[in-house]
């Protein structure tokens, strides 16, 4: 009753101040024409969110438990000046948001898990959102309507039906609710605005008696019956140890990341420092295995990157916020492989609706091809759009047409002048083996990630019999020691490679020093 009284007091305050929508942009990504501008204006006017036209709201970012907690308390009009001490295993006094966490748990709206962890930076799923909002605002009622992916046995079935009957959400056009899908900040904001102001509610909820025909374009997308995970940022650095990122590395440990800004900001000394600190990179949509979690970091294995003695894939540490649960089974979908150095994903087929930039050799499932655009399924951000000219399509990776020697060489040459980046596997920056791993993968051939592993796979080739596209390896102690470098033979006694942090991708003679003396062998991956 106390919580309910607080809520209705807050409503009285809110509805005495309902005014006209602001004519100014709220954020850089929320202009006057944005479809949720009215709802976000409403929340901003009441102090639930803070408008800042000079920054991004992050309309497609996943909302965290802490962010949702803060917005709910402000919506309820509950202050955090006084709060009890809480004893969560992962939250201690002095942590950012401790007061919010203490207050939201005191009210019983959000609590810890079975390990007594609050997980403030974990994402909210749509099912969790339903349970939290119905609990926070005492939403009542049920409905005979059932979403196709929410059986009555689902743990949040009643809460989801309560949201439906209260007009907070009607689900997706194909009559799914997608309960395990991560919830974006903008969707949470809209749902909250609908609860606080009935004028924002859907005037005509979906008729539960009317069958909904799933779009024909989505026939390859099925519910995911097993938990699988993927990288949810354009490029994720895999660190040798967690919590090693410097201040200069902040653009790479966020979500979204800004790889271009980061690489441009690095001095030679700062680039060199990465040696031994980062091991490889994973691209947007790359499937990964979660091995363990420590605080805000997760140790993963990248399935498509082979490394000796790491059966699940290449291992390393990434921030939790850069990994998402894959919401759909897309095994039956064709794929789009980015062939541009950098391509843009859009929120809709419109060049003014940029979502993020993604790298060469990023692979995403195709939902539909439509004129100059391809609709692709993302791991946790729904369907996005990419220009057809930036990708090549195939049934699957194994079905990509086998490249010629010229295809492989031309692909490598396209990156001439790109700065070297230790552990790099993306079009923003490559290391020596990362360049050829990406080039071969783009043509449907997955080779080992590291040069010293590449050097013992493929077909051995004598130096005198090398053909364009063959990979050349170089080792310490005049070619007899450990392999430390790889280049691609491109013909006419020339090779292309990414030498070191002070250089860029370049072409040199195979007889130049120290490469002539340190040559240790060549391997052929073209068949």
Buried b (16+ CB within 10 A) or exposed e, 273-290: bbeebbbbbbbbbbbbeb
Give me the catalytic one of 333, 381, 432, 443: 432
Ramachandran class of 370: left when φ > 0, alpha when ψ lies in -120 to 50, beta otherwise: beta
CA 12-18-24 angle, 5° bins: 145
CB-based contacts of 474: which residues, under 8 Å, 6+ apart? 483, 484, 485, 486, 487, 514, 515, 518, 519, 520
Whether 485 is a known active-site residue: answer yes
List, in sequence order, the alpha helices (H) in 31-184. 37-45, 65-76, 98-106, 126-136, 157-165
Q: Which run of H or E residues covers position 439?
A: helix 432-442
Q: Where are the beta strands (DSSP E) in 360-408?
A: 363-370, 373-377, 383-387, 391-394
CA 387 to chain centre: 19
CA–CA dist 71, 195 (Å, integer): 13
CB-based contacts of 290: which residues, under 8 Å, 6+ apart? 229, 298, 299, 300, 323
Whether 432 is a known active-site residue: answer yes
**Residue 426, SS3?**
strand
CA–CA dist 522, 486 (Å, integer): 9
CA–CA dist 372, 374 (Å, integer): 7
Whether 381 is a known active-site residue: answer no
The token pair at 491 is: 């013909």
Active site residues: 432, 485, 497
């Amino acid at each position: 009753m106390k919580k309910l009284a607080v809520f209705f007091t807050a409503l009285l305050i809110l509805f005495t101040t309902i005014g006209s929508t602001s004519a100014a942009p709220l954020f850089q990504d929320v202009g006057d024409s944005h479809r949720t501008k009215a709802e976000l204006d409403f929340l901003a006017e009441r102090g639930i969110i803070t408008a800042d036209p000079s920054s991004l709201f992050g309309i497609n970012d996943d909302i965290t438990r802490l962010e949702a907690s803060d917005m709910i308390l402000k919506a309820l009009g509950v202050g955090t000046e006084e709060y009890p001490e809480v004893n969560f295993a992962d939250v201690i006094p002095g942590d950012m948001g401790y007061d919010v966490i203490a207050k939201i748990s005191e009210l019983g709206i959000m609590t810890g898990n079975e390990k007594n962890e609050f997980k403030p930076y974990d994402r909210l799923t749509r099912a969790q959102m339903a349970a939290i909002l119905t609990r926070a605002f005492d939403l009542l009622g049920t409905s005979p309507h059932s979403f196709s992916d929410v059986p009555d046995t689902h743990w949040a079935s009643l809460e989801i039906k309560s949201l439906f009957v209260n007009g907070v959400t009607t689900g997706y056009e194909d009559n799914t609710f997608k309960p395990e899908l991560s919830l974006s900040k903008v969707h949470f904001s809209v749902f909250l605005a609908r609860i606080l102001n009935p004028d924002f509610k859907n005037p005509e909820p979906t008729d539960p008696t009317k069958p909904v025909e799933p779009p024909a374009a989505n026939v390859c997308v099925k519910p995911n019956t097993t938990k699988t995970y993927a990288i949810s940022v354009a490029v994720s650095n895999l660190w040798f140890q967690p919590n090693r990122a410097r201040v200069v590395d902040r653009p790479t440990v966020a979500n979204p990341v800004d790889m271009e800004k980061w690489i441009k900001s690095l001095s030679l000394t700062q680039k060199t420092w990465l040696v031994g600190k980062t091991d490889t990179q994973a691209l947007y949509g790359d499937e990964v295995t979660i091995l363990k979690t420590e605080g805000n970091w997760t140790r993963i294995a990248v399935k498509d990157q082979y490394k000796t003695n790491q059966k699940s894939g290449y291992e390393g540490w990434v921030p939790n916020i850069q990994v998402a649960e894959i919401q759909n089974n897309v095994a039956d979908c064709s794929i789009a492989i980015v062939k541009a150095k950098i391509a843009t994903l859009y929120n809709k087929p419109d060049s003014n609706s940029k979502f993020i930039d993604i790298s060469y050799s990023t692979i995403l499932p195709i939902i539909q091809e439509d004129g100059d655009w391809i609709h692709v399924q993302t791991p946790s951000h729904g369907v996005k759009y990419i220009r057809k000219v930036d990708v090549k399509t195939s049934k699957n990776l194994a079905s990509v047409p086998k490249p010629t020697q010229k295809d492989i060489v031309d692909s490598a040459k396209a990156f001439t002048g790109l700065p070297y980046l230790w552990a790099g596997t993306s079009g923003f920056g490559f290391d020596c083996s990362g360049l050829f791993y990406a080039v071969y993968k783009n043509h449907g051939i997955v080779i080992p990630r590291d040069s010293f592993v590449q050097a013992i796979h493929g077909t051995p080739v004598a130096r005198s019999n090398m053909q364009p596209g063959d990979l050349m390896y170089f080792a310490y102690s005049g070619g007899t020691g450990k392999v430390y470098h790889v280049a691609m033979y491109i013909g006419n006694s020339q090779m292309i490679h990414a030498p070191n942090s002070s250089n860029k991708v370049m072409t040199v003679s195979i007889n130049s020093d120290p490469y002539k003396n340190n040559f240790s062998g060549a391997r052929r991956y073209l068949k």
